[in-house]
Amino acid sequence: MKNNHSCQAGSTTAEQRAVAPKSCASGFNRMRSKLSFERLVEMASQMGMDNPLFVCHDRAAKATTLINGKEFINFSTYDYLDINAHPEITEAVTKTAGIFGTSAGASRLVGGERPPHHDLERALADLYEVEDCIVYVSGHAANVSTLGFMFGPRDAIFHDGLAHNSLVQGARLSGATRYSYAHNDCDALEEMLKAHRGEHKYAVIVTEGLFSMDGNIPDLPRIIELKKKYDCMLLVDEAHSLGVLGKTGRGAREYYGIDPTDVDMWMSTLSKAMCGCGGFIAGRSDLIKFLKYGSPGFVFSVGMPPVIAAACRKALEIMLREPERVHKLQHISRYFLEYAQSKDLDTGAAQGYAVVPVIVGDSMVSGFLSQQLFKRGIYVMPVSFPAVKEGTARLRFFISAAHTEEHVRKTLDAVVEELPNAQAIVEKYRREHQDEAQDD
């Protein structure tokens, strides 16, 4: 007789089986979906909105993209420096694939390494003028695994209130006490440090070089002062600032002119300006060695494919060789911000570097606004709760060096025209279904 592996312990009669509850799996899925984007998409569908997620592109998504044979102005891709699909990268990838294939084959710890891994890590360490670097196969895993491995229950992690999900998840995994300070508020951070630093063995301050939802920059010199004053380590996530800040794209340290060794862990993804995937931590050699021998996301994961390492190395080379790409990005980003503000659009705390939100407040309005723009040949994604706080839903624009002033004007003029229409659609639906909402 087969063992009973259902959620209900003991034997089950035919009558009981007829009225048995749903399985754990189906019950779990229903429960969790109430907290997910799926529920929002379902609600939007009932209001007549198309699902904006998982749109399939027909070619490399640049300043413009092709979707179902139609060309769109594209503001939903991280190709900040217009390097993705560069012929030199394609050539490097083709050559590398011919030698090493498309997989690292195993964890680098047990299956060995390939020259592209060393080349990329050395280039990134040199970029930050630090001793060494470790490359993970995933940017999200780089943060989760690094924080989760390095810190424990006796320690403390002080992170910005708008820190990326990967940083928060890493802090939770570590078991360290987690302190979330008000976004970009160094006074609030110092109050927390003053009150709690002495309770813990080790501590780390975690921030971003350019915040991915708001497009603003932390006061890194002040944070460095606090990290020294209160004996903390410091991790700076440069996912959206590498290639974006500084005269040559070297990120927050170049932007501020700080000593790179004042930051213990320089982290970034390789999926934005570097046109690949994965992430890295750059810092002291002893710290990097510690991670290479113990960090679960490195030790127990397959290594980065050599072709991706080669692509990222070549992208970095192009960025440093052609700083005009960085200058173009910075110019068009400032133009976007200034033009949006001239149209009285709410750009929040954005400072005009690659990421600029247009905040509309209501989640459904942001969705319908995105859909209306899509009909006009403009592709930009809405961002709503829980990715941002309730009441701060927005369209988030990723800007590329390939965008033109005409792209910007056409897009933002359309936003101004379509925003009232999106608001009217939502208001009408809510009026018509007010009785149903009260019944619920």
What digits encode the pLDDT tens for the residues 381-425? 999 887 888 899 999 999 999 999 999 999 999 999 999 999 998
Task: Specify if 101 maps to a domain.
Answer: yes
Let me know if 45 is a catalytic residue.
no
Is the pLDDT at 117 greater than 90? The verdict is yes
For residue 27, what pLDDT band results from cuts at 50, 70 and 90? low
Task: Specify if 266 maps to a domain.
Answer: yes
Q: What are phi and psi of 357, to 5 degrees?
A: -85, 150
Q: Identify the active-site residue in 138, 166, 212, 363.
A: 212
Let me know if 285 is a catalytic residue.
no
Q: What are phi and psi of 236, to 5 degrees?
A: -115, 120
Report how far residue 195's alpha carbon sits from residue 191's, in angstroms, rounded to the nearest whole number.
6
Q: Is 420 exposed, middle or buried (0-12, 13-18, 19+ CB in 10 A)?
A: exposed
Domain CATH number, residue 355: 3.90.1150.10
Is the pLDDT at 330 greater than 70? The verdict is yes
Q: Write down the mean pLDDT value for the chain.
A: 90
Is 302 in the same domain as 401? no
Q: Identify the active-site residue in 117, 272, 328, 403.
A: 272
Section 252-275 average pLDDT: 97
Q: Is 303 exposed, middle or buried (0-12, 13-18, 19+ CB in 10 A)?
A: buried
Is 119 in the same domain as 192? yes
Give the end of a domain, one of 290, 321, 352: 321
Residues whose CB falls within 8 Å of the CB of residue 433, separated by 6 or more in sequence, listed in order: none
Domain CATH number, residue 113: 3.40.640.10
Our CA dihedral for 290, 295, 297, 301, rounded to 10 degrees, sits at 80
Is 282 in the same domain as 355? no
How many CB atoms are closer than 10 A to CB 388?
20
How far from chain centre, in Å, is Cα 188?
A: 24
Is 315 in the same domain as 329? no
Task: Specify if 42 maps to a domain.
Answer: no
For residue 40, what pLDDT band results from cuts at 50, 70 and 90? low
pLDDT of 410: 98
Structural domain for 382, as ranges: 49-81+323-431
pLDDT of 25: 60
Task: Specify if 376 maps to a domain.
Answer: yes
Q: Are 296 and 266 in contact (CB under 8 A)?
A: no
Report how far residue 341's alpha carbon sits from residue 339's, in angstroms, rounded to the nearest whole number.
5
pLDDT of 4: 41
Q: ω before 296 within 30° of 0 (cis)?
A: no
pLDDT digits (tens, 9 = 90+) for 56-96: 988 989 999 999 999 999 999 999 999 999 999 999 999 99
Is 91 in the same domain as 57? no
Output the CA–CA distances (angstroms, integers) from residue 65 to 60, 121, 373, 413, in the order listed.
7, 32, 14, 20
Q: Identify the active-site residue in 140, 164, 227, 240.
A: 240
For residue 266, what pLDDT band results from cuts at 50, 70 and 90? very high
Is 338 in the same domain as 417? yes
Strands (E), 114-222: 132-136, 156-160, 177-181, 203-208
Is 176 in the same domain as 286? yes
pLDDT of 43: 64
Is 307 in the same domain as 363? no
Structurally, the chain folds into a number of domains equal to 2
Output the CA torsion sign for 184, 190, 193, 195: negative
| DSSP class per residue in 259-288 | -GGGSSEEEEESSSTTSS--EEEEE-HHHH
N-terminal to C-terminal alpha carbon distance within the chain: 46
* Token code pair at residue 352: 């005009």
Task: Specify if 10 maps to a domain.
Answer: no
Task: Specify if 229 maps to a domain.
Answer: yes
Give the end of a domain, one of 292, 321, 350: 321
Is the pLDDT at 234 greater than 60? The verdict is yes
Report how far residue 370's alpha carbon sits from residue 368's, in angstroms, rounded to the nearest whole number.
5
Is 286 in the same domain as 327? no
Percent of the chain exceeding pLDDT 90 equals: 80
For residue 10, what pLDDT band results from cuts at 50, 70 and 90? very low
Percent of the chain exceeding pLDDT 70 equals: 87
How many CB atoms are closer than 10 A to CB 104?
24
Is 147 in the same domain as 241? yes
Is the pLDDT at 432 greater than 90? The verdict is no
Give the end of a domain, one of 303, 321, 339: 321
pLDDT of 399: 98
Let me know if 228 is a catalytic residue.
no
Task: Specify if 425 maps to a domain.
Answer: yes
Q: What are phi and psi of 265, to 5 degrees?
A: -135, 110
**28 or 65, higher pLDDT:** 65
Task: Specify if 43 maps to a domain.
Answer: no
Is 181 in the same domain as 160? yes
For residue 12, what pLDDT band results from cuts at 50, 70 and 90? very low
**355 or 430, higher pLDDT:** 355
pLDDT digits (tens, 9 = 90+) for 177-195: 999 999 999 999 999 999 9
Q: Are 179 and 191 in contact (CB under 8 A)?
A: no
Section 370-377 average pLDDT: 95
Is 331 in the same domain as 407? yes
